[in-house]
Structure 1
């Protein structure tokens, strides 16, 4: 009682079934641009589009020198943070993002001002402790 298994696609000229399609009998009718060098269908895609913004004509100030000064001579922690925001301001200016550049610029300026004030207070306290409270007013 073995049953014969019929092939997935009937052999011959559609074997009496007018709706069945054999894969080898399918012919793509494409014009020359749609075929590759093996005369097989090719996929044509467009290249990606990158939208680059131009640098700002009047960039926001980045306070890079002020940040370096603050980091070296006043308060290293606040100076390093200000240097980071100065760098981000410079990147945003180059990318044409005015709002981000303005925000980073204000943050860098604020951190620099606070860093200078904190550094001045620390240096003043150190000098007072060294020369006034120890009894030595001047080192010479």
Structure 2
């Protein structure tokens, strides 16, 4: 049977010795010690005290980040686009998609369009859908 999850107040009272354990192997009482080193930032969220399961992933924030990445890549939003020179060079190093490698010129480096790039009309259709 699984142990009961900790409440928010119990998490705040966790006392843990940071760093590596000094000395030899484990003692008899090691099973009572906490097995993690950090308290998640999610425990600092305002609504965390109302969550029935404190250690569950915050699905709302995960969905937002995934959506931001996908929309940023499709619409080529500066700062949100995840497909830059580093990603293209990684593809080249892995031996795939050699047609997408950066093209170096005298003044600037050009990234060829990938299959995920949308035309202006296609971007309008996506934006109108939302």
Work out which structure has the larger RCO, using CA pairs closer than 8 Å and 6 or more positions apart in sequence: 1
Q: Higher helix fraction: Structure 1 or Structure 2? A: 1
Q: Give yes or no for TM over 0.5.
A: no
Greater radius of gyration (CA): 1
